[in-house]
Structure 1
Amino acid sequence: MKFAVITFPGSNCDHDIYYAVGTVMGADVDFVSHHETSLAGYDVVLLPGGFSYGDYLRCGAIARFSNIMPAVIEFAKAGKPVFGTCNGFQILLEAGLLPGALKPNAQLKFVCDTIPLNVCQTETMFTNAYEKDTCIQLPIAHGEGNYYCDEETLAQLKENKQIIFTYAGENPNGSLENIAGITNEAGNVLGMMPHPERAMEELLGSTDGVKFFQSIINHLRKVTV
């Protein structure tokens, strides 16, 4: 199994997620530049956090037009796992791979903290290693994480069980229904504002991110047997 970490100008969590997957989980992982046009040979695509293209125009709006994104979109359409955290979530929304939008935080301030999250669905390729009704601790660091969608989309998210993570404590950004992470209808594309890659070692305060990446590995092992 091979992971691709997509790097954009302004990415600053690419090394975090590379370390989480490569060093902690022991998986095969490469950095893949936004200049590239192919994802051949990869099994998972990871879009890291940061400030792609300086967040000019709108978070993720310019990155969406990078050379690599048509390949990411085709990768997702093929049913392969695509994960975006923070800015990666913003890019997935801009690319139309996930429904809804992310607005500036309700308090109009950058938030940086470690917060409790509910794992709402555990029968997914991203959460199968967690137990049901689990509450985990993950870091957040964003200025535009206020998730919003219209009523019809929200009803679909609920009906299709696409809401994967919700904020368990105080809502840090004003997100609709405390939503912290969602999937597409097919379940193979996940975007979330919290950073599981920053919760891989006790030294950093939590290892709750380990089961997130273990879930992806579990899924890959299952489908390749």
Structure 2
Amino acid sequence: MTFSLFAAIVVALSVVSIVNGATAGTTTTTWDCCEPACGYTSNLSSGAKGPVKSCSKSNGKPASDAQNACFASSGDLAYSCSSYQPIIVNSTFSYGFAGHGNTATATCCKCYQFTWTSGAAKGKLMIVQAINAGGITDVDFDIYTPGGGVGDFNACTSQYGAPSGGWGRQYGGVTSDSQCSQLPSNLQAGCHWRWKWAGGDVNTWKVSFTQVNCPSQLTSISGCTPAKI
């Protein structure tokens, strides 16, 4: 999906108009293939309408009784959707999804704008929607990036036949753009995003962020809309 530079500027300016002060944080990466925590209605932040969509093994609609693939091994299973990969708008602006915050009900489905203040992406802008939480601090963003590391849980072996520890490092994932070729073809673009758009590993890079109203480019994918701010 691509957007014109003019459209990106309009989006960025409209977001900036509701900024209420920025907070310092860091970015990490993840892709564990688990059903996101925000896929449970009970986890949604106050006023949010959802939940976040989950997918079947083949990235279709899961069965109504599907269980999180990270906590069940038989029957109908629910996974993260391949559509949660980063979306490049232009050379300095991307959309995406992330884990954010330790308490799901405080962050689920909310959106955040951040600008990197360190690393190769310094000065670049991203707007992400929180679709996961737990084990993540209130100032960090665990960006959903294929090949970004499975972390504590791994459903990628079940969904895609990934190695038992995921692709690359368990925490942080692949360490070079060439390693993205290890991933299934439908995930490789999101893996390349880190190296070709952000310019490097992304893990532990510093950002300045603020909460913003969610753009339709994200809510139309996740299926979840938070309360307006």
TM-score normalised by structure 1 residue count: 0.28
Structure with the higher fraction of residues in helix conformation: 1
| Higher RCO structure, 1 or 2 (CA under 8 Å, sep 6+) | 2
TM-score normalised by structure 2 residue count: 0.28
